[in-house]
Structure 1
Amino acid sequence: MNRTIRRAGTVTLLLVMALLMRLTWLQMVDGEALADSEENRRNAIEQYGRPFGDIYVGGEPVTGSEQAEDGGDLRYKRTYTDGRLYAPVTGFASQVRGATQLEGIYQDVLNGSDDRLKDPLQMLTGKHAESGNVLTTIDPKVQRTGYEALGDKKGAAVAIDPDSGEILGAVSSPSFDPSKVSGSGADDTAAWKKLTARSGNDKSDDQPTLNRALRQAVPPGSTFKLVVAAAALENGLYSSVDERTESPDPYTLEGTSTKLENENKSAPCENASLRTALRYSCNNVFAKLATDLGVKKLRAQAEKFGFNDEKQDVPVRAAESNFPTGMDEAQTGLSGIGQFEVTATPLQMAMVSQAIAHNGELVDPHMVSRVQDGSGHTLQSYEDPDSRRVMSGRTAGQLRSAMRTVVEKGTGTNARIAGLTVGGKTGTAQHGVDNSGTPYAWFTSWGETDSGKKVAVAVVVEDSDAARAEVSGNGLAAPITEQMIRAALR
């Protein structure tokens, strides 16, 4: 054989062997990664080639599927009933932008690719099974009431059943309709650009796709005083909410010449009891309590409620509520009134009232009750959640009594409801450089019927049409809370 031909044949054989080795490597080693890649168009074609399962609220689906007119080989797209109302619960599923929240967490169940849905033949062939469904704990009356009560205000609200941990409402405002961005057409792209446009102006940067109920942690202001009061009682600093404290008014922050005064100059805050201090929201008392307790004890109590938890899943991952470390005494004092670097989500502040209402025990909050296959059989149940003790039953009872005083004759009177027992705590939190931003108006509370049915609610109003001087927890947040409690218990 000609030497040149022999060499060319050898090179060709080596190239063929290299090609075969590469193909084998791709199939055996990289195959799964390539199959799962977001760039793999086949995944989207398969996922959107059939109707989805649904997310249910109050026994009715709030999602659906329709054939996409402009999706090309993506046959179906997601639709939503009352999309703006339930967007903080469902999230969105988009042919282009992926899926978020419950849509994302249970994507495999909803599109039929979850192995738990498949029979042996489907497992062998890798084919999709009949899609499954997700049943939420959301009470449609509570959700709608909170949404309508917030109206055009920027803010959020969360309602929880203290005994079961079921999240009955998770409202975020402003909201958006996920149906508008679920497809891949020009209209969906334009809607998405409008939703995510940022101008640099705080008023216009409303971020409708941000879930403020679970994913926005802001200074909690005076609502955090409940955590400080719990720490004071649990650590034996005072034995009762009616025992007088040692609290000068005004209080000078330790190591500084800064005098911390109270909003209500005529309030009886000097050496006030915890009941009186909560009733009038006395800054001097809680800054002094926080300083006396120290960072370690105060942080320990806050973390029992759920602060500093990086993995708080409901099952949507909530933003971490922060109680800072490494503070000096002056900063610790400011943390005692929910300022400095303390932040909390509405979910977190609802959990504070939840634990107080449930006699000191915190049942893990959750917004999904069951995950089902297409025939209604349960694949996963969340109806027996874990719980932990946050404080003694005695401390919880003391705080419930003091919170009732706040609502009946203190700073939270707008939450009163005839025929129901209601306790709460107001908060007005500063934010921005030198308090340049509009204050946040907070209210966290619980309500109970004579038969023992309960609900815990937290509301924050970040921005409204109210004048700055009129921004208060009682003025803006308590009326929303009152309506949501009424909806839950009646």
Structure 2
Amino acid sequence: MTRHIRHAAFFCAVLLVALLVNAARIQVFEAPSYDDNIANRRTTISRFGQPRGDILVDGAPVTGSRDTREPLRYERTYTNGPMYAPVTGFASQVYGTTLLEHTEDGVLSGTDPLLSPFPLWNGSARDRYPSGDVVTTLRGAAQRAAYEGLAGRKGAVAAVEPATGRVLALVSAPSYDPSVLSGNRSAVARSWATLNRDPDKPMLNRAVRKTYPPGSTFKVLTAAAALDSGVIEDLDKPTDSPDPYTLPGTRTSLTNESKGCKDVPLRKAFEFSCNTVFAKLGVKVGVDRMARTAEAFGFNDADLKIPYSVAESTFDTKVDKAQLALSSIGQYNTRATPLQMAMVAAAVANGGQVRSPYLVERTTRAGGSTVSTGGSRPARQAMRPSTAVLLKELMVDVVREGTGSNAWIPGATVGGKTGTAQHGLGNSGTPYAWFVSWAKGDTDLEPKVAVAVVVEDADADRGEISGGGDAAPIARAVMEAVLNSPSQDAR
């Protein structure tokens, strides 16, 4: 009898071990597959079971959470949603997350193990903790100035702090309200379909995800390459440039919108934006040196993130001389995001150094303690400091005496460059109006802001004046907002 009891006890022990092994297999080794199973709603219910952390601008939240009392309890809300949509993106119970809502989802949703005082233990246990917040580098006044300046017209604005790379404003228009995608009602699906059908593409982040031909604003880079390479040594020496200029190896003549461009010095060519002068300079500098200069400013970099990805701005390195001439005036295959062109203006303002832009100052726990910091990244020398000094002169002349006069700010030094970029079949489309600039208050030790503005549906006639007439006033409003607001370091 005792033997049978021992056998039964042994068999029960084996069953118990098998149960424990199976439980360990399911709960530890196969847990990820169950977590990711579409039929498992527990993860989703847990994800929306507590308020989501906030995205902050000037220390105040521009996001929130609404208690629906439903199984997916909390849904996202947005303050001034259309104005901040190119920064926040959306957090949808149906369509997921985008932009900062996506890249900082771990902090905002409470799953980042760094939110816990015991990150290794809690990370392995897959627990959820009180959600953290994301503190942005934005200036609310600059963001509003950019948004109201575009006034719904297609276009974008990017503003950065030259010395650090902080993104101070990032606006795309037309925009949309991310809150219409927050919940899981039938209206959310209808809003999604409407937004995706809209020919104006309101969910496209034109500031960082769309590239444009930069037109004459690219002449800043061409001038930098010419000065750095020694092709130009004196801003006031004639450039021996014909008008019109026959593109090398072709019978095609390149002309100017302005008169009096023949053989003018670089100073006047920059002020009048003479295509012929800069096309010839680009050819003389050569494709290798032009490409190196463009890449030093940030072109052909597919890895730029702020922290979400930025579309690659491109300068074609395999072109003949005629194509190089057009590339050197911001046409042919040359393409740039507004953020990239803000980086160009910032490099001029910052003594030739480019700081990689960043949008997140720091992330914090619910109590306010810091989880991680962004901070300025290492600088890259785009041109010699002496070249940057000369380019500052040229850009100031454009605002004081040339086509950028609409960007002038009393009590400040402002440098700028207007531009138009032709596009469409046979260049038949309305030219994009560009303006890139930087500003320094008279009491400031260094420039405080660099801005790039592009307006797709500019009203002015073809020519350089559209950049000065449509884009420059928007840039001025953004620069004034930054100059008149306290610095980020002072908060």
Scaled by the length of structure 1, the TM-score of the pair is 0.90
Question: In the aligned structure 2, how far is the partner of 1:122 from the partner of 1:446?
Answer: 47
Q: 1:26 to 1:124 in 2, by over 3 A?
A: closer
- Match in the other structure for 1:255: 249
Contact conserved, 2:459 with 2:470, CA < 8 A, in 1?
no
- Cα deviations across residues 403-451 of structure 1 (Å, max 9, x unaligned)? 1111111121111112211111011001111112221000001111122
- Match in the other structure for 1:9: none
Is residue 296 from structure 1 mapped to residue 288 from structure 2 by the alignment?
yes
Equivalences for residues 1-400 of structure 1 within 5 A? 31-36=31-36, 40-68=40-68, 72-120=70-118, 122-123=122-123, 125-198=125-198, 205-264=199-258, 266=259, 268-400=260-392
- 1:240: how far off? 3.0
Question: In the aligned structure 2, how far is the partner of 1:288 from the partner of 1:61?
Answer: 51
- Cα deviations across residues 229-258 of structure 1 (Å, max 9, x unaligned)? 000011111113223212111110000010
Question: In the aligned structure 2, how far is the partner of 1:65 from the partner of 1:174?
Answer: 25
Work out the percentage of aligned pairs sharing the same amino acid.
49
Supply the AA of the counterpart residue of 1:117.
Answer: L
- Cα deviations across residues 75-127 of structure 1 (Å, max 9, x unaligned)? 11010111011111111100000000110001011011111112446446432
Question: In the aligned structure 1, how far is the partner of 2:443 from the partner of 2:101?
Answer: 37
Pick which of 26-35 and 145-154 moved more.
26-35
1:413 to 405, 409, 424: 405
Question: In the aligned structure 2, how far is the partner of 1:241 from the partner of 1:37?
Answer: 66
Give the match's secondary structure for 1:463. Answer: coil
Question: In the aligned structure 2, how far is the partner of 1:259 from the partner of 1:33?
Answer: 64
Question: In the aligned structure 2, how far is the partner of 1:356 from the partner of 1:466?
Answer: 28
Question: In the aligned structure 1, how far is the partner of 2:464 from the partner of 2:393?
Answer: 28
Question: In the aligned structure 2, how far is the partner of 1:390 from the partner of 1:226?
Answer: 12
Q: 1:225 to 1:124 in 2, by over 3 A?
A: closer
Q: 1:372 to 1:253 in 2, by over 3 A?
A: same
Contact conserved, 1:406 with 1:425, CA < 8 A, in 2?
yes
- Match in the other structure for 1:457: 451
- Match in the other structure for 2:488: none
Scaled by the length of structure 2, the TM-score of the pair is 0.90
- 1:35: how far off? 2.2
- Match in the other structure for 2:10: none
Supply the AA of the counterpart residue of 2:128.
Answer: H
- Cα deviations across residues 316-369 of structure 1 (Å, max 9, x unaligned)? 211100111211110000001100010000000000000000011112211110
- Cα deviations across residues 362-419 of structure 1 (Å, max 9, x unaligned)? 1221111001111212111112322111111100000000111111111211111122
Question: In the aligned structure 2, how far is the partner of 1:236 from the partner of 1:324?
Answer: 22
Supply the AA of the counterpart residue of 2:441.
Answer: T
Contact conserved, 1:68 with 1:183, CA < 8 A, in 2?
no
- Cα deviations across residues 50-69 of structure 1 (Å, max 9, x unaligned)? 10111000010001001136
Question: In the aligned structure 1, how far is the partner of 2:34 from the partner of 2:284?
Answer: 58
Question: In the aligned structure 1, how far is the partner of 2:38 from the partner of 2:312?
Answer: 28
Supply the AA of the counterpart residue of 1:215.
Answer: R
- Match in the other structure for 2:477: 483
Supply the AA of the counterpart residue of 1:102.
Answer: L
Question: In the aligned structure 2, how far is the partner of 1:124 from the partner of 1:392?
Answer: 50
Give the match's secondary structure for 1:263. Answer: coil
Supply the AA of the counterpart residue of 2:220.
Answer: L
- Match in the other structure for 1:432: 424
Contact conserved, 1:240 with 1:398, CA < 8 A, in 2?
no
Contact conserved, 1:153 with 1:465, CA < 8 A, in 2?
no
* Root mean square deviation of aligned Cα: 2.1
2:435 to 431, 443, 454: 443
- Cα deviations across residues 5-32 of structure 1 (Å, max 9, x unaligned)? xxxxxxxxxxxxxxx9999987666542
Contact conserved, 1:234 with 1:392, CA < 8 A, in 2?
yes
- Which runs of 5 or more structure 2 residues have no equivalent in the other structure? 1-19, 485-491
Supply the AA of the counterpart residue of 1:211.
Answer: N
Q: 1:300 to 1:36 in 2, by over 3 A?
A: farther
Contact conserved, 2:195 with 2:203, CA < 8 A, in 1?
yes
Question: In the aligned structure 2, how far is the partner of 1:470 from the partner of 1:254?
Answer: 25
Give the match's secondary structure for 1:300. Answer: helix
